[in-house]
């Protein structure tokens, strides 16, 4: 991706998602984003004072888009969360480790906070638990399973040529079903 004048802020965000999808949070930096766009290392600082502020903007977009993907999934319910999460995070690299990165807690960003709150509220509304604590545990288990599948996929445990993302999504949904619906075992096990 290279940048040819226009909306640099949007280009910085798009390049950020590309870098996260390729190398994860550990390899994410303002300098790497600038290199990706072919702009000076100082150019991003006109829009973001530091890495944390750029990451905060990425987090807001990721939370907003993940919530929209979850709500658009025709399967609905908490199990749709596992599928939408895997599909979205494999594509963007921006899952909960990015959305809720510890370094963001010190960044005052109302937009990010609004989108992360909306995401969590949606997740809790989709959980069938009879109490808030049980609903939270179901959300936690679902995200943990989905993030686990994403991590295994992105780190090469699954051969992306033989395990398409749709198969990975199905596996994550089935594993989430087994965790959130007592007495149910994943397909293929006894």
91 in a structural domain? yes
Question: CA distances (Å), 184 to each of 120, 141, 143, in order?
Answer: 26, 15, 18
In this prediction, residue 190 has a pLDDT band, given cuts at 50, 70 and 90, of very low
pLDDT tens digit sequence for 18-62 = 999 988 898 899 999 999 999 999 999 999 999 999 999 999 999
Number of domains in the chain: 1
Q: What is the mean pLDDT of residues 153-160?
A: 85
Single pTM value for the model? 0.88
Give yes or no for a contact between 73 and 80, defined as CB atoms under 8 angstroms apart. yes
Please say if the pLDDT value at position 5 is more than 80: no
What is the C-alpha separation between 58 and 38, in angstroms, rounded? 19
11 in a structural domain? no
Residue 159: domain span:
49-180
124 in a structural domain? yes
- Scored b (16 or more CB within 10 A) or e, 88-103 reads bbbebbbbbbbbebee
75 in a structural domain? yes
Q: What is the mean pLDDT of residues 148-171?
A: 89
38 in a structural domain? no
The CATH code of the domain that includes 133 is 1.10.357.10
Q: What is the mean pLDDT of residues 131-149?
A: 94
């Amino acid at each position: 991706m290279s940048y040819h004048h226009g909306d640099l802020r949007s280009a910085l965000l798009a390049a950020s998602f590309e870098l996260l999808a390729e190398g994860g949070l550990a390899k994410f930096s303002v300098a790497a984003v600038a290199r990706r766009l072919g702009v000076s290392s100082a150019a991003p600082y006109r829009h973001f004072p530091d890495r944390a502020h750029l990451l905060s903007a990425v987090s807001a977009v990721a939370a907003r888009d993940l919530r929209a993907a979850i709500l658009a999934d025709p399967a609905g319910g908490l199990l749709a969360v596992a599928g939408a999460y895997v599909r979205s995070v494999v594509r963007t690299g921006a899952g909960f480790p990015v959305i809720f990165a510890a370094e963001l807690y010190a960044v005052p960003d109302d937009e990010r906070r609004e989108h992360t709150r909306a995401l969590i509220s949606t997740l809790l509304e989709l959980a069938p638990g009879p109490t808030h604590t049980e609903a939270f545990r179901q959300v936690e288990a679902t995200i943990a399973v989905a993030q686990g599948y994403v991590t295994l996929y992105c780190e090469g445990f699954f051969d992306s040529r033989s395990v398409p993302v749709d198969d990975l999504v199905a596996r994550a949904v089935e594993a989430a079903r087994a965790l959130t619906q007592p007495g149910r075992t994943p397909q293929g096990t006894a």
